Amino acid sequence: QKGAISRAATLREQFFSGNRVTHNRSTAASSTSQREGRKNLQNLLKKAAESIGRSDIDISIYIARLEADLYNDVEHLTEEDADELSRYMPRRLAKEVHKIIMTADG
C-alpha cells in the first residue's frame, strides 16, 4: 500500500508540474501576443498622427484608453466607426485612424 501511495504522489506531482509548464507557456504566448498588439496600435496611431501633421502628440494615453476597454490590437478596431473611436482620442485623430483602417481592409 505504501508503494501505491508513493506512486500516486509521484503521478500527482508530475501532473501538476506539467500543468504549470503548459500554463506558463500559454501565458508567455499571450504576453507576446499582447505586446505585438500594443505595437500594432502604436504604429497605427503614430501613422494617423503623422498624417494629420501632429507627430508631436503623445499617443500613449489614447492607447491606454483603448486597452482599458480591451481594444488590444488593430483588428479589434476594424468594426468601429470614427464616432466610437473618438471616445478614446481626439475626433480628428479618430477619423484618420478609421480612414487608415478602412484603406487597409479595402
The predicted structure's pLDDT at residue 78: 93
Cβ proximity of 78 and 105 under 8 Å: yes
**Mean pLDDT estimate for the chain:** 85
Q: Is 7 exposed, middle or buried, given 0-12, 13-18 or 19+ CB atoms closer than 10 A?
A: exposed
CA distance 18 to 22: 6
pLDDT at 82 over 60: yes
The predicted structure's pLDDT at residue 42: 95
Measured on CA atoms in the order 64, 74, 82, 84, is the torsion positive or negative? Answer: negative
What DSSP designation does 90 have? -
pLDDT confidence band for 39 (50 / 70 / 90): very high
| pLDDT, average across residues 71-80 | 93
pTM above 0.85, yes or no: no
